[in-house]
Copies of this chain bind each other. A is one copy, B any other.
Amino acid sequence: MRTESICIARIYLTEANHQLEKIIQYLHNNEKIAGATVFRGIESYGESGKMHQSTLLDLSFDLPITIEFFDQPGHVLEAIEHLKNNFNVEHIISWSAEQHH
């Protein structure tokens, strides 16, 4: 088993942000990031202090969304810098990990 040092990036949005598809297309077409996964949370609060919540009875359309992708660290840090310059995203964080081939 061979392991490779990678960097994981996570972008925080909410559904009301409406940039999800553009960011996914951008990562795929412009940054040539090999894969990305999008998760929807069920509740969040952010700088506004406003709660974004989903229940069975009260379906919200402003739920938290995270886009995650990983690749070689240099490639990921470059993509993050371009994302910051081209999109209005709430937060971007990253951390180091290993991929197991």
- CB of A95 within 8 A of CB of B94, answer no
Residues of B close to A64: CB separation below 8 A: 37-38
Name the prevailing secondary structure of the A interface residues: strand
A72 contacts partner chain B, Cβ-Cβ < 8 Å: no
Tell whether, in the assembled complex, residue A39 and residue B36 are in contact, meaning their CB atoms are under 8 Å apart. no
CA distance A96 to B99 in the complex (A): 12
> Which residue from chain B places its CB closest to the CB of A99 in the assembled complex?
B93
Contact B38 A41 (CB under 8 A): yes
Across the interface, name the chain B residue whose C-beta is closest to A10.
B97
A5-60 at interface with B (beta carbon < 8 Å): 6, 8, 12, 20, 24, 28, 34-47, 49, 51
